[in-house]
Structure 1
């Protein structure tokens, strides 16, 4: 426990004139003289608020060395005392992770003599560290995701099933009385946080007979959540909890208070048009919030079964899901008519009917599945083509800009010229003939690679993690090394520094494309993506050369420092970016999925 929490103690005497702060370590209040260490164990630290007829405090358990919650009844009416004692007794007998745990010695009384004699019933229970659903909803002003709400509803119904099986009705379910047992809520994530139902101050325990035929009870309600029968003090049964829970879930889905969704005439909720929700889930919630308790689900078990079918990963909805049923229905009608008019042929007709129904059902299912698969494949193909086209376009633009900027930086800036001279001085150790070599070429190559990788990263295609810095570094290194390989394998000539060879061109492409691809931050199978894109791009250029469409000598501009060669360089690096993007798409959408299907994770 931190020193901040131990800085002061709070006196729980309602009549104390100065209850806080009391010095840490004091056993008695400096203002009213009340005992500050309850049962010589619990030290009140601060108030958490008030609930009903009680005051809530955070206390420090000196034995367990942890924070807990203390509930103190400050109302002295007999009914308030009855409800408080009932809550304590019920909580002490409940064993469920969705219900706060009460200490073994957590139910006791504290006596005060000043300024007037009085006894205060106390209840100590575990402190739930987390947020209420009311607080979580503030993260979703337009409504919480359906998957979260469904998870919460499943847990809440499990808690209610536990309570109702012990003849206990909560009667005060609302977002502020439901918490998640967690330190911090992760927005948008589907987590396994334990739901906890709190504030059992309005709980009611009934007999088995009263669960079937609910009796009249003390009027207790929360506006917007309590059912009509509870507002009027009429018969209250388990359906009252279903009503309140249903309205709570509707509020979480829509982000609107249930009172604002009520039809002014009928009182029914009008909410389905505000949110896209599973039809079965929407129907269930509508039944839970029915005005008439008899129209609501009969028990928590019934709701659990319906939720189980809703939460299961159901197959995609078929466009022709009703074909089989409709055909069978019509076939049954015809069968009935034939049986009434041709009874001697009934046995033969029954066999024919069974076979026909099976064939019809199988045909309907196969047809619907084929249509679904075709539509889904078509849509995915369109999206993949659009994503690939976008990546190819950006890669071409990035390569074009990078090539132009690289030449300008290398030939028209002081630091670019200095770097070119430095690189040229280092090349003799790598290349055999450096008499006509300028370091500006390797700079232009590096910046062209930088522009290409930046554009591909911006596109966000192929499931990459957008690692801008790493992509830039690997592309600079890849294109720079590619130029070195191109120059080292090329043939020296009298007029040019080098004459480009097919081998040198292939080496440039393989190194530049593979290193650039490795730096993109693809989520898996990075080596496969790199090899596919590098060899695919290289083989495309090789095919064009073998077909006579291109000649290696046409690429001599890559080793030329003349400004007139800018346009061919722009075209080459743009094509390099386009082919790289195309083969990345091929790898992402075809090669890697097949490898995963074969078990290569």
Structure 2
């Protein structure tokens, strides 16, 4: 990477009007005169962003021939300086693979002598600098965005175990982090892949020690913190109120972080907006032992949380021994989700690598090329998401239809349904040859299977509401069946088109998509219906369901294929709507 980053240097003076690019080899900035070789060792290469009171850069360490991270304090308040010095002291004292390494001379000051300073006889401005190890990998926040359906339990359990090991090291030195959240937890991974996200190859690293603080083991002698630092949703009540905090604050934040990674839902989505109650266990399939322990970690009363990291490690050891092996269907699901997540993670990694190389090599051409590459990768990710949803929805719809047929042929429920419908909807008796309970059960099963497939895929930014979507899947397809009965002639193509429009639109509205619900419903329903209208015009049989009035296994393949194809087309048009139509509407100002 050295030959890539040697092209230009970045000035770290926050007052410099043209900090980048500086020619490689210059000792001082050609615009403001600030030094570009820090301690005759570190050369700033690129500004990464800002964090708290500091600007963050990538620097080249000429001594070790490696890239590192430089934090430069730009806030002049005494409190900002106190926190920055505190972070430097904490990191220099720690030697743990789960904490970024800082060498003994990694904290230093640099004087900035600019022309304005000299002309006005002002004292030179000092910039405090902290150089630390650069962690290559993804944050849990980035992984969270790749897995809207939630991460597998074994991944989260492994991260929890590693995080507790780090906290045990910190707390043994009387240090609390005070700002644990997904963006401050990284996986030290190889650039090529995510390594399945939860294996021992991925070392969890706790970063951003800007809020770290010493605490006393004598709880009676503790005083409230003079600095009210907290992250909404993750920090415990005593920290938000500016009260006395200890190791329990880190346990609370870690527990909330792991729950967020398990469910794939933001903490605000898990809180009842009226009562403020935190409800998450019904959003994910997780072992009761782990769920109970996470609930214990996030208790509002600090005395109800685990007292120290050693206790947590013992509890996690017991949970690991009693955790049952996942069922075969769960293993299949997690294998698919793992493959899908790896593919998205790999594409994101490649996108970042290519973008980094292009931006640093040639600005004018690089930006255009980067935009093209980014567009291509976004298209690939959208295709992956859509294909995954089409696959699961098609399988779910076909399986649900088969289950409905088995229920009708193996029990007497279809007869009870027929009698009930005949009494409740007497008008149908005069307009149709006979009401078929088998046909109704087939529709209900297909609706349930389609809803489960869509929700299990978790695509298109949807909220995974299994119960609501399953219920609406049955209702929407039942309504489609009713539309089919009322359209005359019953065996015509109009009936098939009508049931698709009714069933698909109602199901799409209930999916829990983030916005533009009507747009998604219209595109999905009309897109699917138009395709079937074309197939009917080309000769698709329209008496698909008439065969079920005397059901037999030889007749089931046609309805099952029909519902499976409806599920596939529904998912396809949802992908078109989510990735093309809705972004276009947002671009035109329709929020």
**1:60, 1:178 → 2: CA distance?**
24
User: Which of 193, 201, 207 pairs up with 1:192?
Assistant: 201
Q: Give CA-to-partner distance per residue, 1:412-465, whole Å, 9 cap, x none.
A: xxxxxxxxxxxxxxxxxxxxxxxxxxxxxxxxxxxxxxxxxxxxxxxxxxxxxx
Q: Give CA-to-partner distance per residue, 1:85-107, whole Å, 9 cap, x none.
A: 11111111111111110022111
Q: How does 1:411-560 map to 2 (within 5 A)?
A: none
Q: Secondary structure at the match of 1:160?
A: helix
The alignment status of 1:168 with 2:137, answered yes or no, reads: no
Query: Which residue of 1 is the match for residue 245 of structure 2?
Result: 236
Query: Which residue of 2 is the match for residue 205 of structure 1?
Result: 214
Q: Secondary structure at the match of 2:130?
A: strand
**1:78, 1:257 → 2: CA distance?**
35
CA 1:49 to 1:316, structure 2 compared with 1: closer, same or farther past 3 Å? closer
Q: Give CA-to-partner distance per residue, 1:140-165, whole Å, 9 cap, x none.
A: 11100000000000000110111111
Q: Report deviation, 1:69.
A: 0.6
Q: How does 1:24-43 map to 2 (within 5 A)?
A: 24-43=24-43
**1:204, 1:109 → 2: CA distance?**
22
State the superposition RMSD in angstroms.
1.8
Q: How does 1:318-329 map to 2 (within 5 A)?
A: none
**1:60, 1:49 → 2: CA distance?**
17
CA 1:266 to 1:304, structure 2 compared with 1: closer, same or farther past 3 Å? farther
Q: Secondary structure at the match of 1:286?
A: helix
Query: Which residue of 2 is the match for residue 73 of structure 1?
Result: 73
CA 1:127 to 1:77, structure 2 compared with 1: closer, same or farther past 3 Å? same
**1:91, 1:163 → 2: CA distance?**
10
Query: Which residue of 2 is the match for residue 55 of structure 1?
Result: 55
CA 1:316 to 1:111, structure 2 compared with 1: closer, same or farther past 3 Å? closer
Q: Secondary structure at the match of 1:35?
A: coil
Query: Which residue of 1 is the match for residue 402 of structure 2?
Result: none
CA 1:211 to 1:288, structure 2 compared with 1: closer, same or farther past 3 Å? farther
The alignment status of 1:45 with 2:45, answered yes or no, reads: yes
Q: TM-score, normalised by structure 1?
A: 0.51
Q: Give CA-to-partner distance per residue, 1:370-390, whole Å, 9 cap, x none.
A: xxxxxxxxxxxxxxxxxxxxx
CA 1:212 to 1:310, structure 2 compared with 1: closer, same or farther past 3 Å? farther
Query: Which residue of 2 is the match for residue 92 of structure 1?
Result: 92
Q: Secondary structure at the match of 1:33?
A: coil
Q: TM-score, normalised by structure 2?
A: 0.52
Q: Report deviation, 1:210.
A: 4.4
The alignment status of 1:216 with 2:241, answered yes or no, reads: no
Query: 1:177–1:199: 8 Å Cα contact kept in structure 2?
Result: yes
**1:44, 1:121 → 2: CA distance?**
14
Q: How does 1:249-398 map to 2 (within 5 A)?
A: 249-264=258-273, 267-312=276-321
Q: Report deviation, 1:315.
A: 6.4
Q: Report deviation, 1:188.
A: 6.2
Query: Which residue of 2 is the match for residue 581 of structure 1?
Result: none
Query: 1:230–1:240: 8 Å Cα contact kept in structure 2?
Result: yes
Query: 1:287–1:297: 8 Å Cα contact kept in structure 2?
Result: yes
CA 1:270 to 1:63, structure 2 compared with 1: closer, same or farther past 3 Å? same
Query: 1:217–1:234: 8 Å Cα contact kept in structure 2?
Result: no
Larger Cα Rg: Structure 1 or Structure 2? 1
**2:196, 2:23 → 1: CA distance?**
39
Greater displacement, 102-111 / 142-151: 102-111
Q: Report deviation, 1:4.
A: 2.2
CA 1:214 to 1:279, structure 2 compared with 1: closer, same or farther past 3 Å? farther
The alignment status of 1:157 with 2:164, answered yes or no, reads: yes
**1:277, 1:212 → 2: CA distance?**
40
The alignment status of 1:122 with 2:129, answered yes or no, reads: yes
Ranges in structure 1 where 5+ consecutive residues have no aligned partner: 318-601
Q: Report deviation, 1:187.
A: 4.2
CA 1:143 to 1:211, structure 2 compared with 1: closer, same or farther past 3 Å? farther
Query: Which residue of 1 is the match for residue 151 of structure 2?
Result: 144
Greater displacement, 204-213 / 11-20: 204-213
Greater displacement, 83-92 / 254-263: 254-263
Ranges in structure 2 where 5+ consecutive residues have no aligned partner: 118-123, 327-591
Q: Report deviation, 1:211.
A: 8.7
Q: Report deviation, 1:263.
A: 3.1
